Structure 1
Amino acid sequence: MKPWRLFLAVAAPAAFAAFQLPPDDFGQRLAQQLRRFYALTSPEKVYLQLDRDAYAAGETIWCKGYVTGAAPLLADSLSQVLYVDVVGPDQKLLLHHALAVQDGGAPGSLLLPPNLPEGLYTLRAYTSWMRNTPDYIFSRVVPVVGAAGAAAKASERKPMATAGAVQFFPEGGELVAGLPSTVAFKATDASGRGIGVQGTVQDEQGAVVAQLRSQHLGMGRFELQPAPGRRYTARLRFAGGQEATYPLPAAQPAGFTLQVQERADAFQVLVRRKAGPGEAAERVALAAHVQNTLAYAGQAEVSEGRPLELAVPKKNLPAGILHVTLFDGQQVARCERLSFHDPGPGARLRVQPDKAAYGPHEKVTLQVSAQDAAGRPLAGNFALAVTDAAAPALAHGSDIRTALLLTADLQGPVEQPGYYFADRSAATGRALDDLLLTQGWRRFVWKAVLANQWPETSYPRELGPSLSGRVVDKRLAPVPGATVSLTRLRPVQVHEVQTDGQGRFSFTGFSGQDSAAVRMVAQPAKGVRHPQLLLDDNVLAVSATSGALWPWAADSAGQGFASMQKQVAAYQGRSVLLGEVQVQRAPQAPLTDTRRIYNRPDVTILTKDIPGIATYQNVLQILQGRVSGLSVTGSQDNLRITMRGRSSTEQTRLGPALQAASNAAGGRMRPAPVTEPSNEGTNLPLLLLDGVPVSSSLLATVPLVDFEAVEVLRPGSAAIFGERGGAGAISFLTKHGNPNYVPGAEPAPTVRPPLYAPPRLQRVREFYSPATGAAAPADGRSSATLYWNAGVRTGANGTATVTFVSADKAGRFRIVTEGLTQQGEPVRTTSQFQVGTPK
């Protein structure tokens, strides 16, 4: 029967409201929930551009990260800190850096240790916000050749097995008896790399019902209309000669099939249904979207023998993955299908040298221009690398287009992603469609979205360097509403925040270059006398799955890692510009006690000099009667300390017992003032525990055996604390906080507010480039990377000029430029120039 055709208008890219549906229509609910998902989760995408594809140990990886929204790919109101990790072949973290993000770009550098073992290393780039969805962080594999002689080990590597596995993926999700379907497949070897395969599909009677042959990287498709009650088997031969048989998924007796085919101006969607006994026509819904742009939402009836054909117009659709979902009459997602929408020629990036060839150490001028499809100038943010054209390079590797438009929306690694953007041929388009048939999109599941079940966001979006974490009780349960205090020691600043319902807190406002340590402490909360502070580790946990990326680090010609070793090793003996060297002094005596940010206290009380201190209930009672003008009142659970201010001309004395203790201590205990109180009134002093502001209730919970001394600062001496020191300050010092404390004879203290290093951002290093001018001796630049510039920007006129000095040796050099236009279009271009006379 002729299919029933239905055409619906595409929604405007930036607004769901442009697609009007009846108030009770399920399609409207789909649109509303999709909009809510992207408003609440606002997914981010990251791409990390490198100066080249392979390195030797001891070299620097020059990089630039791009942080964008999921759609459109714009860099406004996004995370301002990007984390970059280097993970070794043994899945251990080697390097971790935090880069500052400005206008969506984050330049940085990664210095590889000179003794680094050879192997395939994984680079990961992500924001704090992306840690909520770790399956979508950016990662790429970089081959690194180690010390001399490492390349010789390549011959000792065992060859990989060629036979692996074959998976079958019916288009839409299921095979249904009696309904024609497209079945995609993917064959991989034991390492996970795509491998060629061909064969036949037979039923249990041995009749051949389909032929199959892979087209690209072990992927392909065939047509099949399963008969009721029949089972099917694929008999296959791999490229290496091995043979194997695999059962196909069983066909369901009833259900739906979903097929999508690309046309010139629309995606044609065909829905078929096989009804169960006694079932009538069913009203179904279909939704299609590219990220947060709703392309289609509507409902219609479909019955057996009357296929439903829909058209999803391409007009106004952004570039990216089109996600089509079919819902049955119970509003349950039954079929899904991914396609890729390429709007055609868009922004163009061009880099033109002022000359085709240069002499050694000659000035090179590059003209960078960005234009839209109509030739109008575009502003943009780009990075440019100039490398030896003979240096090792991976064929069809990741680039900014593949990362932001394709792989950022797919779970798991994609082999040779650059192949799908190499050209716009029919073969490339077919291979990309095969990829999407076999590698599903799972950024969200409709069932959860329709039920208002949103992903947890344990990690905040960082608008700057931050310190965050959780406050928990002894059972590690979250403590909501707890107060967390942070003290910056130089200059003194005290900040407090309260934990949220999950016990989380965050301190922001760091410059990223702070060097002074900070102290943090969690105050007692209702029902929790000793809360614990667990600081977030901004390093994403290393997963064993990251090792699955390494097989396609080798070049597409199949030469493998051994060939990459030989290419990189060819550069190993040449000059490598050394990175920044830090010279440190030999270890000295312990630093000044960081618990004290003041010079001299007005009164010092040493706990070891107090007779009968074991009979005291808490440290606060030590102060009673020992410091003139200071009083401790209240019950054990509600003690209150007050101090009256003093004039600068007060005289001092000590009682006989304390005077003897002071003399025995070598005069370390200063006398307490005894002059009459001034008329400044009674105020609450600032209480400090090893330099951290605390409450009297927290102090009362610390065992007396932990304390070393109590130091009192009158209002004049406490002026260093600003307004909070206006009524004076009392500093309680623990033994373990003393840098000279040696545990052993006395019980170890139980409370010690630790020092925390403030969050640091990597200082941007400038790539060394010699001055232009006359010929000079060898400049020491890396033989593989001649020039790197992460700050190439085109303005309103769409142009920028870059200059540098050519190499000292003859040869061809490759220019690779990538980046984002101000409109959020990822662009990439390559060009070359010659130094000296070609051989």
Structure 2
Amino acid sequence: MKKISFLPQAALSLLVIASAAFAPAHAQKTMQQVDASIADFAEKFGPERAYLHYDKQAYSPGETIWFKAYVMNEVLPAIESKSFYTDVLDEKGNLLQHITSPMVDGVTNGQFEIPLDYKGQFVFFRAYTRWMLNFDSAFLFTKQIRVLGNDPKTAAARPQTIATLQFFPEGGDAIVGQPTKIAFKANDQWGKPVKIKGTITDAQGKFVDSLRPLHNGMGFFMLIPDGSTYTANWKDEKEVGHTTKLPAAKTSGASLQVQVAGTTRRFQVNYSADIAKANDSLHIIGTMYQHEVFRVSKATAGSEVKGAVPTQNLPTGLLTFTVFDKNWAPLAERVSFINNEDLIFKPEFEVQHWGLNKRARNEIKITLPDSLVGSLSIAVTDEAIGKDTSRNIVSHLLLSSEIRGDVYNASHYFTSNDELMSQKLDLVMLTHGWRRFKWDEVLSGKTPKPLFAKDTSYMTLSGTVFGAIPGQIPPGAAVVLMLKQKKSEGQVLLVPIESNGTINERSVIIFDTAQIYYQFQNKDLKNATLQFMTDRLQPPTVRKTVGRFGFAILADTLGNYRQWLMANESNDIAEKNKIKTLENVIVKSKTKSPVQVLDEKYASGLFSGGDGYQFDLVNDPFAKSAIDIFTYLQGKVAGLQISGNGSNTTLTWRQGTPALYLDEMNSDVQMVSSISVQDVAYIKVFRPPFMGGFNGGNGAIAIYTRRGNDVRNEPGKGLANNKVEGYTAIREFYSPNYSSFNQENEQRDLRSTLYWNPNIEMTSRKPVVLTFYNNDVTKAFRVIIEGMTRDGRLAHYEEIME
């Protein structure tokens, strides 16, 4: 892989030559080793960063959350990773769905449908690649999304604000006797800034300085610690008094100050007497995206060392200054943000046809600047619904994803690039922790082995033979596979078995679910079994609480209320259509119904008769379209809540878990989820309590597999088989076409998202023209375009059409 150099070679040479003039001859080899160690670490452990673009910022139960994922590695799209994972959680941390998506050139898309009976106020998204799991979980993409379940006007009152105050000595530690900038940040329990006022006093109660927030609860003051204890005495917005101790100053060490001066960063290192005595020089290294961009060594003849770093040729992003002693032990660290606007582009937007009347047609044209090739996503929504301006693709991938902690209103720092904004952004750098490097590991050259390898190939048909040792697998061994995927013709494959007992048919990519029947060609393997997709990344174990992210009960806006009204009326229309359909059902006889016949045929003992729901899958033409039994039951049983999918499905009924029975034998979710719906004849759901077995106090679900005349003769029946889950099915956003007659178009149109397209592939030479139609109520549209080019440039563009 070609090594990336962020600084021009001439500038880098000047910095290295300058450092050599101060470095003792015996240290030259060590410097070369340090350079090599950092370069090796950056090449092997370049972190990936992810961002999700959503069609809007709030949803109602029953609506679909549409998203587009963008993933970067350093300053380019993450083209090596081929799979992307999205976990959707409820407010208690329970997994609702584990979404797996194929990724091409660092982008993919997907969707999540909020259950119609969902009662929470939020859902929580966590998104990542397999490679990202090797790093601190603080760097995974996370977002909470508002669910407008109840009337926003009657929502519960917001809990009382709890204000906190934190202090951050510049460089990491305050050193006794050395000038130190102490930054501070005041915010509530949800990370929102709060206004404070107060003073700093020493151990004797003597006034030292005032607390003067400069921007969003952040500020700083200068201090030369004398070794005593310092205390902040402050009041929050409600005039409630608080006291907070400042971090204790150390008697030994170094402090680092970095000053923003246009396209230059000036640094100054002050150190205690014992550090000066033990070191004839100090080393200062600058890194961006884990690559070394400058290195300076300075003699410690005086009480401080100073220097300046030109930044006009650096890429946009975080520049980290790290101070080391002569033996390369880190003493201080500080980050500074460089915004050279080189990684940002602006697409051209033009309205070619206005149609703001009811159901009118609109046309917009998008053009990329010269020589760019990229992938864009576009969302067109009702302008009057709420919007989220706190972050976007630019602010997240260039800023928020690189530092710990949530950056409040991160997108604000990219609205301009003047001196005032640079100073505001530097306050963010001072008050947010950053630790990508573990310097002891990097400089030792002994990088740990990653726990998770990159998904460098797509989720193809793979498997592992169990029940046979490698010596039992003869040369040329093979297995016959009969594969049936949804919405595709069946396939018969002869796949070789490797000597280590694995198979991999790279020509077959698994989407949604597939039923696979198999038969070994070799008699030596007659007692063996084949498990498919054993290398598939399983959903991570999640805690029952969301943890530090929490959920703020935010004030409702007029936009949220309008959106809630639109969604509520749409749901009412859909429900009335269901009722009209039911009214057309006419009962012509009182003979035994097919479901009664099935009950007599399959249910016995305490499972027969009783009070419950009954489902005839033999005569249900829609049963075969269900992914599994739990998908088939969703929404069919009042009070039964089904979340998650596959073996991660969770069942809740009356605050408990109903018992599962397969052919009247006690079973579990994993077993039941593996049963093909086409193999099931009859399902009986008993209301709580069910007295036919143990753990029936929360009801029971009895599943009966087909037998006798109900068994369908299908190819492969009788062979060993498995149901396999692959990539989550990606749906297409429905956008009505009112240019021609369609019976469905007769319903009232109250869509709040009028158009969503996550797959706009563009070059600068070919503009794209997009068409969408208005609904029945919208007077103005909000258009949001986000995207990423092949050379790593990012775009966030917003336009109001009215």
Normalised TM-score (structure 2): 0.71
TM-superposition CA deviations, 1:348-397 (whole Å, max 9, x none):
223221256633333211121222xxxx342221001100011111232x
Report the counterpart of residue 209 of structure 2 in structure 1.
210
Report the counterpart of residue 768 of structure 1 in structure 2.
734
- How far 1:40 moved relative to its partner? 1.3
Instruction: State yes or no: 1:322 paired with 2:319.
Output: yes
Does the 8 A contact of 2:349 with 2:364 survive in 1?
yes
Does the 8 A contact of 1:275 with 1:304 survive in 2?
no
Identify which of 241, 252, 255 aligns with 2:253: 255
Report the counterpart of residue 377 of structure 2 in structure 1.
383
**Separation in 1 of the partners of 2:547 and 2:506?**
34
Identify which of 142, 147, 158 aligns with 2:145: 142
- How far 1:531 moved relative to its partner? 14
Report the counterpart of residue 541 of structure 2 in structure 1.
541
Alignment-mate amino acid for residue 444 of structure 1: F
Identity of aligned residues (%): 26
- How far 1:222 moved relative to its partner? 1.4
TM alignment of 1:85-100, pairs within 5 A:
85-100=87-102
Does the 8 A contact of 2:283 with 2:296 survive in 1?
yes
TM alignment of 1:73-84, pairs within 5 A:
73-76=76-79, 78-84=80-86
TM alignment of 1:784-803, pairs within 5 A:
784-797=752-765, 799-803=767-771
**Separation in 2 of the partners of 1:262 and 1:45?**
26
**Separation in 2 of the partners of 1:164 and 1:469?**
53
Does the 8 A contact of 2:460 with 2:509 survive in 1?
no
Alignment-mate amino acid for residue 142 of structure 2: S
The 1:469–1:516 alpha-carbon spacing in structure 2 relative to 1, beyond 3 Å, is closer
**Separation in 2 of the partners of 1:14 and 1:781?**
62
Instruction: State yes or no: 1:291 paired with 2:289.
Output: yes
The 1:826–1:331 alpha-carbon spacing in structure 2 relative to 1, beyond 3 Å, is same
**Separation in 2 of the partners of 1:494 and 1:246?**
67
TM-superposition CA deviations, 1:728-777 (whole Å, max 9, x none):
xxxxxxxxxx9899xxxxxxxxxxx9854334223332222233637995
SS in 2 for 1:62: strand
SS in 1 for 2:108: strand
**Bigger CA drift: 767-776 or 329-338?**
767-776
Instruction: State yes or no: 1:167 paired with 2:166.
Output: yes
Report the counterpart of residue 679 of structure 2 in structure 1.
none
The 1:308–1:95 alpha-carbon spacing in structure 2 relative to 1, beyond 3 Å, is same
- How far 1:239 moved relative to its partner? 1.5
Structure 2 gaps of 5+ residues are 21-26, 484-491, 523-527, 579-613, 620-703, 708-718
Identify which of 1, 8, 11 aligns with 2:7: 11
TM alignment of 1:14-413, pairs within 5 A:
24-69=28-73, 71-76=74-79, 78-133=80-135, 134-146=137-149, 149=150, 151=152, 154-155=155-156, 157=157, 159-227=158-226, 229-276=227-274, 279=277, 282-305=280-303, 307-344=304-341, 346-355=344-353, 358-371=356-369, 376-396=370-390, 398-413=391-406
**Separation in 2 of the partners of 1:505 and 1:181?**
61
- How far 1:48 moved relative to its partner? 1.0
The 1:298–1:497 alpha-carbon spacing in structure 2 relative to 1, beyond 3 Å, is farther
The 1:85–1:530 alpha-carbon spacing in structure 2 relative to 1, beyond 3 Å, is closer
- How far 1:827 moved relative to its partner? 0.7
TM alignment of 1:710-725, pairs within 5 A:
none
The 1:340–1:519 alpha-carbon spacing in structure 2 relative to 1, beyond 3 Å, is farther
Alignment-mate amino acid for residue 571 of structure 1: M
Does the 8 A contact of 2:385 with 2:559 survive in 1?
no
**Separation in 2 of the partners of 1:472 and 1:452?**
39
Report the counterpart of residue 650 of structure 1 in structure 2.
none
**Separation in 2 of the partners of 1:175 and 1:481?**
64
SS in 2 for 1:178: coil
- How far 1:496 moved relative to its partner? 3.8
Alignment-mate amino acid for residue 310 of structure 2: P
**Separation in 1 of the partners of 2:6 and 2:735?**
51
The 1:131–1:758 alpha-carbon spacing in structure 2 relative to 1, beyond 3 Å, is farther
Does the 8 A contact of 2:86 with 2:98 survive in 1?
yes
Does the 8 A contact of 2:191 with 2:408 survive in 1?
no
- How far 1:509 moved relative to its partner? 5.4
**Bigger CA drift: 566-575 or 819-828?**
566-575
SS in 1 for 2:333: strand
Identify which of 412, 417, 438 aligns with 1:419: 412
Structure 1 gaps of 5+ residues are 1-8, 474-478, 524-528, 555-559, 590-737, 742-752, 835-839
TM alignment of 1:501-516, pairs within 5 A:
510-513=508-511, 515-516=514-515
SS in 2 for 1:116: coil
TM alignment of 1:417-816, pairs within 5 A:
417-462=410-455, 463-465=457-459, 488-490=481-483, 491-496=492-497, 510-513=508-511, 515-517=514-516, 537-543=537-543, 546-551=546-551, 554=554, 560=555, 566-575=561-570, 586-588=616-618, 756-771=722-737, 773=739, 782-797=750-765, 799-816=767-784
**Separation in 2 of the partners of 1:520 and 1:236?**
74
- How far 1:32 moved relative to its partner? 1.9
SS in 1 for 2:186: strand
- How far 1:806 moved relative to its partner? 2.8
**Separation in 1 of the partners of 2:240 and 2:142?**
33
Does the 8 A contact of 1:11 with 1:294 survive in 2?
no
**Separation in 2 of the partners of 1:432 and 1:480?**
59
**Bigger CA drift: 211-220 or 323-332?**
211-220
**Separation in 2 of the partners of 1:13 and 1:739?**
71
Normalised TM-score (structure 1): 0.68
**Separation in 1 of the partners of 2:462 and 2:49?**
22
Would you tell me which structure has more helix in proportion to its own residues? 2
**Separation in 2 of the partners of 1:482 and 1:56?**
56
Q: How many residues align?
A: 634
- How far 1:520 moved relative to its partner? 12
Does the 8 A contact of 1:176 with 1:226 survive in 2?
yes
- How far 1:552 moved relative to its partner? 5.8
- How far 1:255 moved relative to its partner? 1.7
Does the 8 A contact of 2:193 with 2:216 survive in 1?
yes
SS in 1 for 2:51: strand
**Separation in 1 of the partners of 2:223 and 2:774?**
59
- How far 1:128 moved relative to its partner? 2.0
The 1:413–1:38 alpha-carbon spacing in structure 2 relative to 1, beyond 3 Å, is same
Does the 8 A contact of 1:26 with 1:285 survive in 2?
no
SS in 1 for 2:441: helix
The 1:46–1:520 alpha-carbon spacing in structure 2 relative to 1, beyond 3 Å, is farther
Does the 8 A contact of 2:466 with 2:529 survive in 1?
no
Does the 8 A contact of 2:735 with 2:755 survive in 1?
yes
- How far 1:66 moved relative to its partner? 1.4
Alignment-mate amino acid for residue 548 of structure 1: R
**Separation in 2 of the partners of 1:187 and 1:544?**
29
Does the 8 A contact of 2:91 with 2:545 survive in 1?
no
- How far 1:105 moved relative to its partner? 2.0
SS in 2 for 1:516: strand
The 1:358–1:486 alpha-carbon spacing in structure 2 relative to 1, beyond 3 Å, is same
Alignment-mate amino acid for residue 422 of structure 2: G
- How far 1:480 moved relative to its partner? 11
The 1:774–1:562 alpha-carbon spacing in structure 2 relative to 1, beyond 3 Å, is closer
SS in 2 for 1:570: helix
The 1:833–1:153 alpha-carbon spacing in structure 2 relative to 1, beyond 3 Å, is closer
**Separation in 2 of the partners of 1:760 and 1:405?**
32
TM-superposition CA deviations, 1:281-304 (whole Å, max 9, x none):
531111112104432112221244
CA RMSD after TM alignment? 4.1
